[in-house]
């Protein structure tokens, strides 16, 4: 999957697409659609909802090509359109569960202690553990509101620097830093208390049933 880097070629593709070059437009869409999907999936954590969001965002990118003036990198511009859509999009099916840190922690505790899981079929535990870790990470992200979730995804996962992330979100850099700091603090506190991602004394492998039943493990699917 090609990364959505600050590639001068993207600017050239945008310029050509604005002049009606259909091949350039197709190539531009090809280069950006996977990264848009990755952002949408991390925000919404449901594949169908993320695919629907990706299509809506791509339509907005295509129909707003004429408004791109080159004052920012193409990557910044594309992510801004995506984030503006995702901030106000209809809640995904997983978001509709209204997950909070308190509720998610309780579900993890119940999953760890559930005696009904004894004697379940054998699974590839190393693969399952990775999926549970992924599900746990996204479960925690869903406990954040959308503003703080976007700040964390942009700053920590997509690794945009502060000024660019602030431009994407159309906020001042101080506001972005505060949101990112708050999200980090909340996630770190939860991981330390409940999750083996930060505290090895907690074992995610006991939690897989809860994560599966609530749709927070998507077997065989990556958000990268």
Q: What is the mean pLDDT of residues 146-175?
A: 97
Cα distances from 13 to residues 22, 49, 76, 190, in angstroms, run: 10, 28, 15, 43
Rounded distance between C-alpha atoms, residue 10 and residue 91, angstroms:
31
- Which pLDDT band holds residue 118 (cuts at 50, 70, 90)? very low
Whether the predicted model's global pTM rises above the 0.85 cut: no
Q: Which of 88, 121, 140 is the last residue of a domain?
A: 88
Q: Which of 45, 65, 88 is the last residue of a domain?
A: 88
Which of 206, 16, 5 shows the shortest CA–CA distance to 110?
Answer: 206
Rounded distance between C-alpha atoms, residue 15 and residue 210, angstroms:
49
Q: Which of 34, 55, 88 is the last residue of a domain?
A: 88
CB 199 within 8 A of CB 192: yes
| pLDDT tens digit sequence for 59-105 | 999 999 999 988 899 999 999 999 999 999 999 988 888 888 888 88
* pLDDT above 60 (res 221): no
* pLDDT above 80 (res 197): no
Does residue 24 belong to any structural domain of this protein?
Answer: yes
Q: Give the distance from CA 171 to its chain's centroid.
A: 19
């Amino acid at each position: 999957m090609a990364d959505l880097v600050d590639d001068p070629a993207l600017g050239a593709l945008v310029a050509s697409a604005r002049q009606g070059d259909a091949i350039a437009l197709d190539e531009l869409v090809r280069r950006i659609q996977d990264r848009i999907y990755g952002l949408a999936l991390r925000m919404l954590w449901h594949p169908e909802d993320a695919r629907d969001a990706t299509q809506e965002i791509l339509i907005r990118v295509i129909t707003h090509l004429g408004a791109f003036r080159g004052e920012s990198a193409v990557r910044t511009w594309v992510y801004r359109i995506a984030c503006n859509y995702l901030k106000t999009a209809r809640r995904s099916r997983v978001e509709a569960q209204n997950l909070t840190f308190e509720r998610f922690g309780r579900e993890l505790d119940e999953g760890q202690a559930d005696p009904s899981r004894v004697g379940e079929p054998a699974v590839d535990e190393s693969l399952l553990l990775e999926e549970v870790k992924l599900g746990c990470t996204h479960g925690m992200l869903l406990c954040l509101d959308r503003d703080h979730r976007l700040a964390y995804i942009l700053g920590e996962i997509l690794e945009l620097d502060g000024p660019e992330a602030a431009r994407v979100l159309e906020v001042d850099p101080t506001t972005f830093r505060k949101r990112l700091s708050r999200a980090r603090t909340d996630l770190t506190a939860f991981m330390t208390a409940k999750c083996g991602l930060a505290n090895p004394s907690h074992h995610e492998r006991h939690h897989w049933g809860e994560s599966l039943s609530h749709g927070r493990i998507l077997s065989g699917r990556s958000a990268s």
